A and B are shown apart, each in its own frame.
Chain A
Amino acid sequence: MRKCIEGSLAVAEAIKLCRPAVVAAYPITPQTHIVEELAKFKAEGEADFEFVRAESEFSAASIVLGASASGVRTYTASSSQGLLLMTEVLFTIAGLRLPVVLTCANRAVSAPINIWNDQQDAMTIRDAGWIMLFAEDNQEAVDFHLLAYKISEQVKIPVMVNMDGFVLTHTFEPVDIPSEKEVACFLPNYAPAAGQILNVKSPVSLGCFATPADYLEIRQDLFNDLVSSMEIIKKELGNFKKTFKRGNSELVEYYGDKDAEIVFAAMGSIVGTIKDAVDELNAAGQKAGVIKIKCFRPFPKEEVVSQLSKAKYAAVIDKNISLGQEGILATEIKALVRNDKKVQSFIVGLGGRDVTRQHIFDIYKKVQDNKDGVLFVG
């Protein structure tokens, strides 16, 4: 049913439809509305998951770890400092191959303290071994959560759905919330594989101590499975389209002039602003386009390379920075493009600074100067 709803509440509805058995969370702005709404569903009798009020994000992540290892569907959400506090456990969840789903309401990181949106939090834990999806709008945020469970339970790798704090979490948009029946059809009950969970009838030891003789192969397995999960993600995006009649199976979407000389690359809600700018540029006869990277881990290398193959310049727009280097997405794209002179790193929107079309036009001009280094715009 299509309704005008706040992003966080739409995600909470989606989570309810996914029927997690254990939800654990700790409050942090701008994630709070999601878990407050889930607590409300439980209080109203709309849902009957165990809602465990953790005393920290570290604990919240640990609780969903334990519940997932016991063979039930789980959910948690966080942001910024909260996600960073979870970091140690996020690595462990991935290493234990647990299908945990987490929403990151993306927010800047201290110091200085700042509660507004950028993507520093998620990008900082990019090596933890999670599948990382980035939503452009609230419909995608809802859809990605249904996909997250479907994918994670197949590949036994946790999924983090990223949605920009405030820009998406606190914004009202028309969103199609699927019915219980539709979701139940797309996402069947979770049936963990035998030997994967804590069960007194079939005891296993999980999280054993690996010496140098085994550690490397175990990490390599996770790497290989994360890379090959790309095909499952594409397949499920396709299945989603079949069931719900929206979306597409691409991990990297292209928008704008097909023969664009200048192509922007970005993730999350900023892609909407860039699309508007691209429309204006195209209308004025300028050859511009944008690639939207929906899935940052695993990184869809081939798609990115092919979408940028015709471009003379690529302007990578990051709402994060690897201090001492450049925008993180820019580094990743430079690593793929043979002529890395054509790729320029632009940093925008840190700590919630508004990004307008004018900023995108500025970037369009500056990328043609082909300067080395990082340019801050805003």
Chain B
Amino acid sequence: MTDKMLFNSLLNPGHSSCAGCGEILAMRHVLDAAGSNTIIVNATGCSEVTTSKFPTSSFKVPWIHANFENASAVAAGVWAALKTKRKILRGSSRFTSGLAPQDDKQKQAQDDKAGKINVMAWGGDGAFFDIGFGLLSGSWERGENILHVCFDNEAYMNTGVQASGATPFSANTTTTPPDTNSFGNELMKKDMIAIALAHRCVYAGTATIANVVDIENKVKKALTLAGPKYLQILVTCVPGWYTDAKDTIKIARLAQQTGVYPVVEFVNGELLDAVKCPVPRPKVEEYLKLQGRYKHLFKSDKGQVIIKKIQSMADENMEKYNLQ
């Protein structure tokens, strides 16, 4: 096919994501905001299997997948290699990469370019909250200039909707099935932003797929800052949340508007922005009732108690981040 694609993005169509996938949409906006001077290290998960079926690839930037847990550490290696390449270009190293000697101006230009290569580690909540958590912590501790992007769909979706450390309280997953003796997930979602801040990340923020402009702005801002960075994007999962494809954006918007999923931005530890909730603020039921993973809550008195608890958790977020 020689016709020019109508669609101009660094993430090509032709991938195998589900209709209504929030993750692939977020990936596209993150990548387009970062631009072509970017290297992506991708953890195992939907983001990888839907985009890289050999011998095809959706990525128009350099992209590597290694294992489930190690996107942060592989990115650390990429970053370390880029640093040494800059040393070589500057002529201040005895190392080698087979680069021919150049005049100073050329060196300077290439040096600047190498310095501006964005390194991003991508993964789902399983990759960052759980199995790759130690490796993420290690990279943050070392202060590596990497933007870690967590596409948070709140469970292990690629393996068939098992609960993760990001799964919200009471959600139905295949490992937290509600029944006579269970109301779904009994654990609370891990607060990764607090953990990122404890690591002195220069940037720690959240977003939802309901606002792609916000996602793009956050990526662009984060990439101007040198040091460890974390962006967590709530992405609707149609088969994992048991939702309609048409509701992907609506549900993500309600997550923010109800106070369930605060959209915040910390730079150098300081809360710079928290997206306000509308007045009047929708009740959490509005958010929950569109999703099959909360269906069981609407069938019993116990469920009503749990919905109240979820409402009070959302109310706490309102106070914590001053969202009103």
Q: Which residues of A line the B interface, CB within 8 A?
A: 19-22, 24, 47-50, 52-56, 58-60, 62-74, 88-89, 92, 96, 188-192, 198-200, 203-211, 214, 218
Of A22, A55, A89, the residue contacting B84 (CB under 8 A) is: A22
One of B45-53, B217-225, B250-258, B310-318 contacting the partner:
B45-53
On whether the beta carbons of A70 and B82 are closer than 8 Å, the reply is yes
A54–B92 Cα gap in the complex (Å)?
25
Of B49, B93, B135, B142, the residue contacting A62 (CB under 8 A) is: B135
A60–B134 Cα gap in the complex (Å)?
12
Of A63, A191, A198, the residue contacting B76 (CB under 8 A) is: A63
**Interface residue? B95 (CB, 8 A):** yes
- The A contact surface, by secondary structure, is loop
Query: Nearest CB to that of B82 among chain A residues?
Result: A70
On whether the beta carbons of A65 and B60 are closer than 8 Å, the reply is no
**Residues in chain B near residue A49, CB distance under 8 A:** 84, 95
Of A192, A199, A209, the residue contacting B98 (CB under 8 A) is: A192
On whether the beta carbons of A55 and B141 are closer than 8 Å, the reply is yes
Of B54, B69, B87, the residue contacting A210 (CB under 8 A) is: B54
Query: Nearest CB to that of B42 among chain A residues?
Result: A207
Query: Nearest CB to that of B88 among chain A residues?
Result: A21
**Interface residue? B163 (CB, 8 A):** no
Query: Given A56-B138, A70-B82, A72-B97, do A89 and B77 touch, yes or no (CB 8 Å)?
Result: no
**Interface residue? B83 (CB, 8 A):** yes
**Residues in chain B near residue A70, CB distance under 8 A:** 39, 77-78, 81-82, 85
Tell me the total A-B contact number using a CB cutoff of 8 A: 188
Query: Given A48-B95, A63-B80, A70-B81, do A200 and B61 touch, yes or no (CB 8 Å)?
Result: yes
- Most A-side CB within 10 Å, residue of B70, B77, B85: B77
- The B contact surface, by secondary structure, is mixed
A89–B81 Cα gap in the complex (Å)?
18
**Residues in chain B near residue A55, CB distance under 8 A:** 134-135, 137-138, 141
**Interface residue? B14 (CB, 8 A):** no
Query: Given A24-B77, A48-B87, A62-B70, do A190 and B82 touch, yes or no (CB 8 Å)?
Result: no
On whether the beta carbons of A67 and B81 are closer than 8 Å, the reply is yes
**Residues in chain A near residue B36, CB distance under 8 A:** 200, 203
For chain B, residues 141 to 158, give those with C-beta under 8 angstroms from any C-beta of chain A: 141-142
Interface residue tally on B, bucketed by range: 35 or more
A32–B303 Cα gap in the complex (Å)?
56
**Residues in chain B near residue A72, CB distance under 8 A:** 81, 84-85, 95, 97
**Residues in chain A near residue B74, CB distance under 8 A:** 62-63, 65-66, 69
**Residues in chain A near residue B37, CB distance under 8 A:** 200
**Residues in chain A near residue B98, CB distance under 8 A:** 189-192
A89–B55 Cα gap in the complex (Å)?
22
**Residues in chain A near residue B117, CB distance under 8 A:** 200
Query: Nearest CB to that of A95 among chain B residues?
Result: B66
**Residues in chain B near residue A88, CB distance under 8 A:** 67
On whether the beta carbons of A59 and B73 are closer than 8 Å, the reply is yes
On whether the beta carbons of B77 and A67 are closer than 8 Å, the reply is yes
Query: Nearest CB to that of A91 among chain B residues?
Result: B67
